[in-house]
Amino acid sequence: RRALEYINSPEQFLAEEVKEWFEKRATIKTDLSTISLKLNELPIRTLVNSLLFIFRQTILAKLGVKSYFTEKCLALVDPENKISLETMLAKVEYLLRALSDTELYLNKRLFIHSILTRCLSQD
């Protein structure tokens, strides 16, 4: 079912707010509070799933697998191709753990802020 949804409308797996964050992240690194406030409007699962989608597509691009989004996502996450595959896999593992913790968060904005901080890091 999910595969058919992806085929029919692949853009639904990439929340516009998350895409915008990646496109502007060079200028917002110093203003993470503002962007976390904006992303606070998204359901937390949508945010994490969008990040997972982007990082998964970036990993596929690094492995040479082509899809509709691989080049687009690689340009969003790692345009200069400097982030190692191991780092990308660690980010996906972190996001999967975060996804399981979405039911437990007490402060949504703090939770989003920590996710964004981890996703911005190059290590």
Question: Mean pLDDT by 10-residue block, N- to C-terminus, for the chain (123 residues)?
Answer: 66 70 65 71 81 87 84 78 89 88 76 81 65
**Amino acid code (one letter) for 4:** L
What pLDDT does residue 93 have?
93
| 119/23 Cα distance (integer angstroms) | 14
According to DSSP, residue 102 is labeled T
Whether 46 contacts 102, CB under 8 Å: no
